[in-house]
Amino acid sequence: MSGLERMDRPRRWPWVLGGGLLVVIAIGFIGLHYYVQREKEDTGTLAVTEKVTPPVAGVWALPTSSEKDSAGMAASAEEGVKLPVATSVLPVTVAEKVVSMPSSSVTALVAEANALLVADQKDVAREKYYEALADRPDNLLRATIEEKLGKLNVEMIRLPWPMAEKQEYVVQTNDAIKFIARKFGTTVEMIVKGNELKRPDMIRPGQRLKVFAGKLEIVVNKSRHDLLLSANGRFFKRYSVATGRYEKTPVGSFIIVDRIPEPPWHRDDGKVIPYGDKENILGTRWMAIKATGATPEIRGYGIHGTWDNTSIGKSESAGCIRLKNEDVEELFEMVPIGTTVTIGD
């Protein structure tokens, strides 16, 4: 009977084992659900915290050292700044813009120069623009810098602003503006305007003048239709020009040998067309050039203005270098007789 009683007693261990397995499975599902939720929350946080912040005043800030290390994207200034963003979150179009951005050092220098201009610190701003040019900006940014720098250079040379190329001169007995201009290799116009002289014919001994003493040079590029003015080997300003039809503009080395305001035009047939006549094509200024060195001798060529601005940027002159009247007047004031002119293809 005792044996029969043992055989009829229910066996509990299979039920205990099955219940334990169910508990383990339930705990596993709960843990998996919790893990998935945390992953979603982390992803959302990443999208918010690593979102690209729009640049201020066109300048992209350099990432911190911790950001560089975590993203593994440290780059040199010349390669551009690669921001530490998660590619799974950042749209492709924005990522492409980040890669193609100009060097942060260039944009930072330009922003600094712009701020200095606002503060009227023109000489310091000018050097910052030169630093930006030396940092090899892309073509679009280079054009912007050249435009700002060219405008600033002309403003500073025409007014009593300090410039690296200017020297102080004390007027001597029997001095005249034209003698001082010849001594420093500049023009009368630059001394008069650069010192705001009301009566240039009445300078007095002991008077102090700021005189531009930089060496100006002109380089004309026929294919680009531009004229580059440099001072002591540095960029000064770039002008758009027209050159000769059918490659008539000569190439080589030249110097300016004459400067004539409101010039008459000597036609090929010998007839002289006075300034102001509608047939006179020379505009408001004329600077004659002469070949130097091994360059073949030429006659009748020069740099002049035009009444037809639609020709600028094209090959439409009879062979001369043609500028807008306002541009040739500006150039005329700055470049003296003896200025070198190099013309290339």
Residues with a known catalytic role: 304, 320
* CB neighbour burial string for 295-324, b if at least 16 within 10 angstroms, e if fewer: eeeeeebbbbbbeebebbeebbbebbbbbb
Distance CA 123, CA 183 (A): 25
Helices vs. strands in the chain: H and E counts, helices first: 10, 14
Distance CA 260, CA 334 (A): 13
Give CA angle at 306 (302, 310), nearest 5°: 125
Distance CA 69, CA 62 (A): 13
Q: Which residues contact 196 (CB under 8 A, 6 or more apart)?
A: 159, 160
Structure tokens at 125: 């701003």
Distance CA 131, CA 124 (A): 11
Strand partners, 45: none
- Asked whether 133 and 111 are in contact (CB, 8 A), the reply is no
Distance CA 262, CA 97 (A): 51
DSSP string, 91-124: -HHHHHHHHHPPPHHHHHHHHHHHHHHHTT-HHH
Please tell me what DSSP assigns to residue 311: G
- Asked whether 326 and 307 are in contact (CB, 8 A), the reply is no
Structure tokens at 196: 């705001």
- Asked whether 333 and 193 are in contact (CB, 8 A), the reply is yes
